[in-house]
Amino acid sequence: RKEVEQDPGPFNVPEGATVAFNCTYSNSASQSFFWYRQDCRKEPKLLMSVYSSGNEDGRFTAQLNRASQYISLLIRDSKLSDSATYLCVVNGYGNQFYFGTGTSLTVIP
């Protein structure tokens, strides 16, 4: 079983739509959780950390459910510039970061 599993998509949504991505992780001892964004032919960049109580950064909301070992990312009012691959990342024991396969999002005009 993979450490982190994501629906690869692709998600194609119109501008202004709300879209949600989900991710599950296998190790219940995982300590920290993140969403990264990767644009085509670029490096992954941290989008936001995910805290137990849930957190919001502008149009982006991240949630963590430790009991279900589940992480989500909600994007409201999608912009063309949100088109990218979104990577779910889990930090387990010993500074090892586990990456999901990524979910591809295309926002259509």
Partner 1 sequence: DTAVSQTPKYLVTQMGNDKSIKCEQNLGHDTMYWYKQDSKKFLKIMFSYNNKELIINETVPNRFSPKSPDKAHLNLHINSLELGDSAVYFCASSRGASGDSTDTQYFGPGTRLTVL
Helix (H) or strand (E) holding 37: strand 32-38
Applying CB under 8 A, among 9, 83, 99, 106 the residue interacting with partner 1 is 99
When asked if residue 66 is in the footprint of partner 1 (CB under 8 A), the reply is no
Applying CB under 8 A, among 71, 87, 90, 105 the residue interacting with partner 1 is 87
E strands of the chain, at which residues? 4-6, 11-14, 19-25, 32-38, 44-50, 55-57, 60-65, 70-75, 84-91, 97-99, 103-108
Show contacts with partner 1 in window 18-57 (CB under 8 A): 31-32, 34, 42-46, 49
End-to-end CA distance of the chain: 38
- Taking the complex as a whole, how short is the minimal distance between the CB of residue 42 and partner 1, in angstroms? 7
Applying CB under 8 A, among 28, 68, 81, 95 the residue interacting with partner 1 is 95
Q: How far apart are CA 31 and CA 90, in angstroms?
A: 8
Per CB under 8 A, residues contacting partner 1 are 31-32, 34, 42-46, 49, 85, 87, 89, 91, 94-97, 99, 101-102
